[in-house]
């Protein structure tokens, strides 16, 4: 149910606020160029899902299934990766499926069951994953036999595409932006501008995770643009930004080179964040896939693009201050953890959740509505609009936000307001607990890796760490008492 817009008393109607500005400022605010960064993960996630669905449909043909299921062939042997469901829940159904592999002398390397990613009404709720080695000549006959006793037979690929990895190698593997994606559309016909963007993008392409982020010498024109945006937005933060953003912004000005006449260096900002919340910055040269971007959040790595002045302002003025708050940093990481092992459909929903929270979220503080989304905090026009009387303000509900239509060409017509960051975090965790995936995960802050909780042994090992922490806290409480 929509809630009334309880923005601060000083917030005015959007059109009235714009009318009180001079002509140059008003034109800038109403121009799409001044609207914060519009690189939406949602459209990317939707395309990934549609592509996967098309590939799955195509794999119903024998030749396509072979291509999708075989990961490598050598010396007359093929490595086969299959996912399938069984027509019945009886043990005999599984026995018949295994018999098909035995008939063709397949050497099974791995066999496991998992919750079905696409369960059908009244159908099986488990699917089977098999990795096996089989003579290449027997592949067509084997697949035909499996299809006679199983349903939804499809190739899984060597890594099944739904697991983002567990450690440092995974962080390296998901951070390369696709060269086929446009680096920047702004100023595309300006050769000088394009050359400058290419130079900055090259730094990101060459960067290796864990190395110091190279320093950039910004031009006078870039600094002038930064100054205009910096001073304009800062004047609005006092009345429109949430408390956490204001506090972090002051610290960034004191310790990380935030000021109107100088663009902060990413290495200085990354060190500041790591000391505050454990998050690190990782420069990229363009757009990432939605799955890869969300996965990096699980490792407390924020991948940012500064190839254009607009992107630079969005990342440094919108995202960075919020990532310096512990509760919000945990909220961001929780979205990333929820994405690991999720289906393409769930990735699309999580991307939409990210859009309406991390990018365009509102929260209540001291009876007023404040902005915490980076898309708002880096756009003077949308920051005014979001707290005016024009948009519809709804209470944050992850199930509703995950399917809410979004707007990436102009200002949002709907925003979601949270009671607090802690409340939003609890609701997100409840939502994530209902995502069907074959395992649960936990971030290990000591190894900076993801622990997969898929066995009693793994869970016991994780509980031991929790018990150690509880013992330390209990000892501290007794010492105080």
Q: Is residue 109 marked as binding? A: no
Q: Where are the alpha helices (DSSP H) in 241-319?
A: 243-255, 266-277, 290-298, 309-313
Catalytic residue among 332, 339, 351, 378: 378
| Distance in angstroms (rounded) separating the CA atoms of residues 196 and 131 | 48
Spell out a b/e string for 29-65, using b for 16 or more CB atoms within 10 Å of the CB, else e. Answer: beeeebbbbbbbbbebbbebbeebeebbeebeeeebb
| Distance in angstroms (rounded) separating the CA atoms of residues 253 and 255 | 6
List all residues 6 or more positions away from 281 whose beta carbon is below 8 Å from its beta carbon.
213, 266, 269, 270, 273, 301, 302, 303, 304, 320
In the chain, how long is the greatest CA-to-CA distance? 80
Strands in 368-371's sheet, in edge-to-edge order, are 2-3, 392-395, 414-418, 362-365, 368-371
| 176 among known catalytic residues | no
| 314 among known catalytic residues | yes
Q: What is the DSSP string of 306-339?
A: -SSHHHHHIIIIIIHHHHTSHHHHHHHHHHHHHH
Catalytic residue among 127, 319, 339, 351: 319
Q: Is residue 359 marked as binding? A: yes
| Distance in angstroms (rounded) separating the CA atoms of residues 114 and 250 | 48
| 319 among known catalytic residues | yes
Catalytic residue among 59, 314, 346, 385: 314
CA torsion, points 62, 68, 71, 77, in degrees to nearest 10? 0
| 109 among known catalytic residues | no
Question: Does residue 462 contact residue 433 with C-beta atoms inside 8 Å?
Answer: no
**Alpha-carbon Rg of the chain, whole angstroms?**
25
Q: Residue 395: how many CA atoms within 13 Å on its side-chain side?
A: 6
Catalytic residue among 315, 359, 385, 388: 359
| Distance in angstroms (rounded) separating the CA atoms of residues 53 and 180 | 22
Active site residues: 314, 319, 359, 378
Binding-site residues: 314, 319, 359
């Amino acid at each position: 149910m929509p809630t009334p817009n309880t923005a601060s008393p000083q917030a005015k109607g959007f059109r009235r606020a714009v009318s009180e500005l001079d002509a140059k400022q008003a034109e800038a605010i109403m121009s799409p160029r001044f609207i914060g960064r519009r690189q939406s993960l949602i459209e990317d996630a939707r395309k990934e899902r549609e592509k996967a669905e098309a590939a799955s449909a195509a794999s119903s043909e024998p030749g396509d299934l072979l291509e999708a299921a075989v990961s490598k062939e050598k010396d007359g042997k093929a490595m086969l990766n299959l996912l399938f469901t069984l027509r019945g829940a009886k043990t005999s159904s599984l026995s018949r499926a295994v018999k098909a592999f035995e008939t063709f002398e397949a050497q099974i390397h791995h066999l496991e069951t998992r919750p079905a990613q696409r369960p059908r009404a009244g159908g099986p709720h488990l699917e089977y994953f098999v990795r096996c080695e089989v003579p290449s000549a027997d592949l067509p006959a084997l697949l035909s036999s499996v299809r006679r006793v199983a349903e939804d037979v499809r190739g899984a690929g060597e890594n099944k595409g739904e697991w983002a990895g567990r450690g440092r190698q995974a962080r390296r593997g998901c951070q390369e932006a696709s060269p086929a994606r446009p680096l920047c559309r702004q100023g595309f016909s300006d050769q000088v501008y394009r050359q400058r963007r290419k130079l900055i993008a090259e730094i990101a392409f060459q960067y290796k995770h864990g190395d110091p982020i190279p320093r950039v010498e910004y031009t006078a024109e870039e600094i002038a643009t930064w100054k205009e945006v910096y001073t304009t937005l800062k004047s609005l933060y006092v009345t429109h930004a949430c408390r956490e953003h204001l506090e972090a912004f002051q610290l960034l000005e004191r310790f990380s080179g935030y000021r109107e006449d100088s663009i902060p260096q990413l290495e200085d900002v990354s060190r500041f964040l790591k000391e505050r919340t454990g998050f690190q910055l990782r420069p990229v040269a363009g757009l990432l896939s939605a799955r890869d971007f969300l996965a990096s959040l699980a490792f407390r790595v924020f991948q940012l693009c500064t190839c254009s002045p607009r992107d630079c302002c969005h990342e440094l003025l919108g995202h960075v201050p919020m990532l310096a708050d512990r509760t919000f940093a945990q909220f961001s990481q929780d979205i990333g953890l929820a994405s690991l092992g999720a289906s393409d459909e769930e990735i699309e929903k999580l991307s939409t959740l990210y859009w309406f929270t991390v990018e365009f979220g509102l929260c209540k503080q001291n009876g007023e509505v404040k902005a915490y989304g980076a898309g708002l905090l880096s756009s003077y026009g949308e920051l005014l609009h979001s707290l005016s009387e024009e948009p519809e303000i709804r209470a944050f509900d992850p199930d509703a936000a995950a399917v809410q239509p979004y707007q990436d060409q102009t200002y949002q017509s709907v925003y979601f307001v949270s009671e607090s960051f802690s409340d939003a975090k609890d609701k997100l965790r409840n939502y994530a607990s209902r995502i069907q995936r074959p395992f649960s995960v936990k971030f290990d802050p000591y190894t900076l890796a993801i622990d997969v909780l898929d066995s009693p042994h793994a869970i016991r090992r994780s509980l031991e760490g929790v018990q150690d922490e509880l013992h330390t806290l209990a000892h501290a409480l007794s010492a105080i008492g």
